[in-house]
Amino acid sequence: MDASVPQCPGVLRMTISPLRQFVLAALLWLPLAFFIWFALSGPVVWPVGKLADVALPLILPDVVSSVGQTGAVLEVDTKLVTEGAGGQRGLLVLDVRPLIYAWCLPLFVGLVMATPLSGRRRLVQFAIGLPILCLVITWGVVFDAIKLLTFDAGPLGAAAIAASDLPVNFVALGYQFGYLILPAVTPVALWVTLNRVFLESLVGWRGEPDAPVDGPSATRPADRADDDPR
């Protein structure tokens, strides 16, 4: 009896499709990215606070004086004088939480890290995507502060917004757009745009053929004269 038994090729070999590899990598990278994002929430918020400190006084020069940061919370200092229950007077300060909008950052980072890329291409995608996402977060923070003044700061805030000629419907639309749409759509759209070749390899699509395919088509019926035995 011959001891050498030929092995069937591929019996013991397990291959994972590129799609499954990406899904498994995303399941590992996304939780890690969100954990790091939450642990470093203060540094993550810092550039957004600086941008908001420029944007809000520019949009509302007679209302907002500056924007400061305490941990992961932005404090919008206004010029509006309020009076407390004990007759004490002070300036109105608004608290805005950018992390409500900043979850788009770990989503984008997790998707990029899960994509099979070289280190250089990863850095290029981060250099393109992260500044854009910072602008998205700043949009949410700015309209969050304006929304608080318009709807939650009482008659004093509403009067200040009315004096600045900002339409209430515009404030509501900008807030909803920055809260519901931009943080969810922008990171995915960026990742798809930057990784089009990888996505095409997953679905096997290579675009339309350069030359027309031989054979009958719907616009030109097949010529059957040569096949007619008569």
Residue 69 lies inside a defined structural domain of this protein: yes
CA 175-180-102 angle, to 5 degrees, is 90
Q: Mind listing the pLDDT tens digit for each residue in 191-206?
A: 999 999 888 888 765 5
Query: Is 110 domain-assigned?
Result: no
Residue 17 domain-assigned? no
What pLDDT shows up at residue 18?
A: 82
Per-residue pLDDT, averaged over 156-163, amounts to: 91
pTM beyond 0.85, yes or no: no
Inter-residue contact 94 to 148 (CB < 8 Å): yes
161 contacts: CB under 8 Å, gap ≥ 6: 60, 63, 146, 149, 150, 168, 171
pLDDT higher than 60, residue 222: no
- What is the number of H-type helices and E-type strands within the chain? 9, 3
Residue 210 resides in a domain: no
Q: Is residue 10 one of the residues assigned to a domain?
A: no
Q: Is residue 185 part of a domain?
A: yes
For residue 109, is it within any domain?
no
Residue 179 lies in domain: 42-81+89-104+116-200
> Residue 169: is it exposed, middle or buried by C-beta count within 10 angstroms (0-12/13-18/19+)?
exposed
Residue 9 lies in a domain: no
What is the count of structural domains for the chain? 1
212: pLDDT confidence band, cut at 50, 70 and 90?
low
